[in-house]
Amino acid sequence: MKVSPKNQGLSELDEFCIQTIRFLSMEAVQKANSGHPGMPMGMAPAAYVLWTRHMNYNPANPRWHNRDRFVLSAGHGSMLLYSLLYLTGFDISLDELKNFRQWASKTPGHPEYDPDCGIEVTTGPLGQGISNAVGMAIAEKYLAKYFNRDGFPIIDYNIYVIASDGDLQEGIASEASSLAGHLGLDNLIVVYDDNHISIDGNTALSFTEDRAKRYKAYGWNVQEIRGDGNNMAAFEKALNNAKQEKKRPTLIKLRTHIAYGSPNMQDTAKAHGSPLGDDEIALIKERFGWDPDKSFHIPEKVLAHMRKVNDKGKYTETTWDKMFAEYTKAHPELAQQFDDAANEKLPLNLYDNMPDFEAGSMIATRKASGKVLDVLMPKLPLILGGSADLTPSNNTEFAGAKSFQKDARDGRYIHYGIREHAMGAIMNGISVSGLTRAYSGTFLVFSDYMRGAIRVAALSKYPTIFVFTHDSIGLGEDGPTHQPIEHLAALRAIPNLLVLRPADANETAQAWKFALEHRDGPVALLLTRQGLPVIDQNKYSSSANLSKGAYVLAGADDPDVLLLASGSEVSIAMEASEKLAAENINAQIVSMPCWKLFEKQDKEYRDSVLPPSVKARVGIEAGVEQGWWKWLGDKGVFIGMSSFGASAPGKICFEKFGITAAKTIEAVKKVMN
């Protein structure tokens, strides 16, 4: 075998393993005729050293709680990760590598969350992964403070990231990295693949600031390794320094070459996102002394060597298990909390002493939410809250909450600053850490800034809870820049995201109950700034029906018309119904806090809420009409927004835009004619 003399700190067997990773990556891309071969080729040495010499994990139990986490933020280089997972013995077969980017494979084009296969988070949209890792680092710091006792480091792991030029260019990464530096997350180690190439060409076209100085300014420990990405002696020294760092996150700026070893494609933009071609792969094999007639070739000594991490992993976890057994004897209550969290169990008394909301009183659902959190969160010590610098407005800080800071790792409330996009991704990182979960708040209009993270949460089924307040023109004087018009419809459009818009304080309490019990994806709570009347639970249907997505709030034996509404507009429907009754028009009021949940109900239930025989239907919502026609049918009328809002008191906005009981009555008479 030919070994490059540039490799430092590597044996011939090490080099052989690295070449195997490179060839698996380029051949899988070639077979799929699609993918990104260059990055895995350049980063193979560093990834190999990291996975075989430094990270603690057990392929036989990928969910072991004290494992080191690895995030391939440069998700386009997914074959690097898949090759490592296969070679180290995770549940990824060689056939899956050959099936790269094909239907139903475990090896999609970009890594998708699959902890049973060793894939910690979904990456692909650049910047998400490194931001998720900040959340993972926060979770580890909090868990260590909460559970660890003298002699029992139950939680003690690092988060390793491989990030690209593209990751560092995305604004979300800047937001997250800034917060990580502020918080001094020394358990976060980012390896920056500084290969100088992106899709358009050399990064000098658009990316010329001094990244090392930038991260130093964030408060990071920055180490630079020049050369061609093969000086593993220097890389290991940097890793060891990073693991010994006790005050700052670390960025290792590693100069590499995309498509390293390719005679014609190295350092070219084409190698970023296109197969190299059979002829080029043959030339690379010749250069490194590989048999050009063999593809997906795994030398026995390579597999045997790399599978040794299984023995190390089993030993490490077994040692931890013995420690945890002793910990259970010494600290039984903490051990029980650990197990309950691992099994997603909520406290039996969680809903005791829930706030009592007086019927007819006025309370904004954001304030009702705050009162509910005051009761629930002290009983849920592994749920971390926060806000993007809108805590007093979002009412997300519960009674007794302490701020999570560099010198206060026991704090459960995270001040994200004005960093909405990073907040969303960091919350996702917290929520996939195995024991913790996150909720945080901002204004609904700023969900635009968070959409990338929300979409990934829905795609990956992270159990993150997004709190959005000031959910309509009802927020008033801040005007159209802050009044969400299309945002409710936009969030509803995301598959697997459950959007709950409660009608009053009692529905808000039920929304929190549902969100805490729902683990199969994210939940978004949409809450009002303005006060809403508390609906009498003795007179109207129980708010517990929120879990069905829509329900008959007030029915009629033979309704003439259906009034459908969500959130703050339910009270408008109720007012209109009372006035219609005086004119002998029977209206059935339907509260629709969550369309997706309603769609999951059986046909019999859906027909009981929306009788097919009643064609006269009016939908009322202070947002755009998209999606409403599935409920209203051909003869329905929608009352809502078709323009941006205006700067005026909320009540005036509703009147001027015609979202009132009077306009509802006019619509009812129109639709009944």
CA distance 261 to 258: 9
Beta bridge pairs of residue 298: none
Instruction: Encode 295-318: b = buried (16+ Cβ within 10 Å), e = exposed.
Output: beebbeebbebbeebbeebeebbe
Pairing assessment for the beta strands 188-194 and 159-164 based on DSSP bridges: parallel
Q: How far is CA 426 from the centre of its chain?
A: 7
Query: DSSP 3-state helix, strand, coil percentages of the chain (rounded to 5)?
Result: 45, 15, 40
Whose CA is closest to 156, among 167, 171, 141, 168?
A: 141
Helix extents (H) in 289-419: 300-306, 308-330, 332-342, 365-376, 391-394
CA distance 635 to 272: 54
Residue with tokens 């358009």: 200
In eight-state DSSP terms, residue 149 is B
CA distance 493 to 455: 10
Phi, psi (deg, nearest 5) at residue 384: -105, 130
SS3 600: helix
Phi, psi (deg, nearest 5) at residue 42: -75, -35
Look up 326 and say whether it is catalytic: no
CA distances to 1, 199, 288, 296 from 22, rounded to whole Å, are 15, 20, 11, 10
Q: Which amino acid is at 406?
A: K
Contact 569, 473 (CB under 8 A): no
Q: Which amino acid is at 647?
A: S
Structure tokens at 439: 């909720």
Structural element, H or E, at residue 284:
helix 278-288
**Which residues are CB-contacts of 424 (< 8 A; sequence separation ≥ 6)?**
450, 452, 453, 454, 457, 464, 466
Pairing assessment for the beta strands 561-565 and 617-620 based on DSSP bridges: parallel
CA distance 218 to 177: 7
CA distance 46 to 232: 7
As a residue count, the chain comes to: 673
Structural element, H or E, at residue 62:
none
Whose CA is closest to 527, among 465, 620, 438?
A: 465
Whose CA is closest to 527, among 366, 363, 357?
A: 366
Four-CA torsion 92, 94, 95, 98, nearest 10 degrees: 110
Helix axes 38-49, 232-244, angle to 10 degrees: 60
**From 112, 420, 507, 569, the catalytic residue:** 420
Q: Is 125 left (phi over 0), alpha (psi -120 to 50) or beta?
A: beta
Beta bridge pairs of residue 250: 189, 221
CA distance 334 to 187: 23
Catalytically active residues, by annotation: 420
